[in-house]
Amino acid sequence: MADTGEATARLRGRILTLLESEEERAFWDHAMAARYLRARSGNEEKALAMATNSIAWRREYRPDLITFADVEPVASLGSTVLLDRPDRLGRPVVFIRPGTKNPFPAADRIRLVVWLMEHAIRRMEERGTGADKLLWLVDFSSYGDREKDGERRETSKATLHIFQSHYPERLGHGILMSPPWFLSILFKLVRPFMARETREKFEVLSGDQDQLRKRLGELLNCDQVDFCMRGGVGLQEPSAAKEDAEPAYSSESDGASDDDQFVDAVSAV
């Protein structure tokens, strides 16, 4: 769907009538309206309904006020990591390890994901690279060692809902590393039915470690590749004083949209 400036401007004008503060008006700029419009395939009424829902959610949940101190305990597990530097295209890199033992309740895990999204978006804007999407790396190498987790389903459902509803058009590229056999088969089955733009956003990397390293090297810096190939081993915590400027961890220690389909696949496991 080709976005038109007129449609976006019209949608933003309608959104502005719902806002109550200068802070909200600054957040709902032209680019944000365009993302919501694209997420609803150019349907202005559906995009407005989606934006209205997000306005209410942000007022109640206040994702912009979450600090690293609020999420530090669950972040210390290292199952969801925002790498210290962007990829070669300037996009923030999120590294996830499904199956990691997690003793925290769903609410704490969800808050971490929301903090990560808000923090990654702020960093993109501050760097001014022109990037507005994220690279997601999901490493399933330890998935077979997972333990029974009663909070996983609730966490997945809530994360899926938040990502789809309140962070549209933020997925730049999604890579599933060493996925379980059933997920590989699922992707092979649905891939022919995906639009070309959607197919180009997703990759499944299995098997040969040299090939995996080569492909990651095309996307990431060398130290980030080493970090990912170690399965996220070697994490460095930031100081509390830097919580608003630095990511949760660094990769340098020891040396219905496309977005919806990607999160659906990850949440399925």
Closest CA to 97 of 81, 75, 115: 81
Lowest mean pLDDT among 110-124, 137-151, 196-210, 251-265: 251-265
Angstrom distance (rounded) from CA 93 to CA 96: 10
What average pLDDT does this structure show over 8-25? 97
Which pTM was predicted? 0.78
- 247 has a pLDDT exceeding 50: no
Predicted local distance difference test score (pLDDT) of residue 146? 58
Residue pLDDT, tens place only, 36-87: 999 998 999 999 999 999 999 999 999 999 999 999 999 988 888 888 888 9
CB-count burial class (<10 Å; 0-12, 13-18, 19+) for 150: exposed
Predicted local distance difference test score (pLDDT) of residue 114? 95
How far CA 209 is from CA of 21, 54, 201, 244, in Å, comes to 51, 41, 21, 36
Higher pLDDT, 24 or 262: 24
- 265 has a pLDDT exceeding 80: no
Whole-angstrom distance between the N-terminal and C-terminal Cα of the chain?
31
Higher pLDDT, 119 or 2: 119
Closest CA to 121 of 95, 94, 96: 94
Residue pLDDT, tens place only, 159-204: 889 988 999 999 898 888 888 777 777 777 877 776 677 677 888 8
What average pLDDT does this structure show over 255-263? 48
- 10 has a pLDDT exceeding 80: yes
Higher pLDDT, 62 or 218: 62
Count of Cβ atoms closer than 10 Å to residue 57 Cβ: 15
Rounded percentage of the chain residues whose pLDDT exceeds 70 = 77
Predicted local distance difference test score (pLDDT) of residue 233? 45
Angstrom distance (rounded) from CA 114 to CA 158: 11
What confidence tier does 238 reach under pLDDT thresholds 50, 70, 90?
very low
Angstrom distance (rounded) from CA 225 to CA 170: 22
Residues 6+ apart with CB under 8 A from 149: 101, 102
Instruction: Tally DSSP H helices, then E strands, for the chain.
Output: 12, 5
Q: In what order do the strands lie in the sheet with 93-96?
A: 80-82, 93-96, 134-139, 171-177, 202-205
- 213 has a pLDDT exceeding 50: yes
Predicted local distance difference test score (pLDDT) of residue 239? 33
